[in-house]
Amino acid sequence: MYADFSELSERDRYKLLIATVMPRPIALVTTQTKAGVLNAAPFSFFNIFSEDPALAVLGLESRRDSNAIKDTTANIESTGELVINLVDRAIAEPMVACAASLEPHEDELAFAGLTPYASRKVSVPGIAEAPVRLECTLFEMRQITARRHLCVAEVQALSAREGIIDLQSLHVSLDAYKPIARLMGESYAELGEIFTIPIPSAPITNVNDTP
Ligand X SMILES: Cc1cc2nc3c(=O)[nH]c(=O)nc-3n(C[C@H](O)[C@H](O)[C@H](O)COP(=O)(O)O)c2cc1C
**Which residues of this chain interact with ligand X, rule CB under 6 A?**
26, 39, 41-45, 59-61, 70-72, 96, 99, 101, 182
Q: Is the Cβ of residue 43 or residue 133 nearer to ligand X in the bound state?
A: 43
Strands (E) across the chain are located at 24-25, 27-32, 38-43, 46-51, 54-61, 81-86, 116-117, 126-127, 132-145, 148-160, 181-182, 188-189
In whole angstroms, the minimum distance from the beta carbon of 60 to ligand X comes to 5
In whole angstroms, the minimum distance from the beta carbon of 22 to ligand X comes to 11
Give me the residues paired with residue 46 across strands. Answer: 58
Q: Is the Cβ of residue 23 or residue 165 nearer to ligand X in the bound state?
A: 23
In whole angstroms, the minimum distance from the beta carbon of 82 to ligand X comes to 11
In whole angstroms, the minimum distance from the beta carbon of 40 to ligand X comes to 7
Q: In whole angstroms, what is the distance from residue 82 CA to residue 35 CA?
A: 15
Q: Is the Cβ of residue 46 or residue 165 nearer to ligand X in the bound state?
A: 46
How far, CA to CA in Å, does 52 sit from each of 76, 154, 166?
21, 10, 22
Q: Is the Cβ of residue 13 or residue 171 nearer to ligand X in the bound state?
A: 13
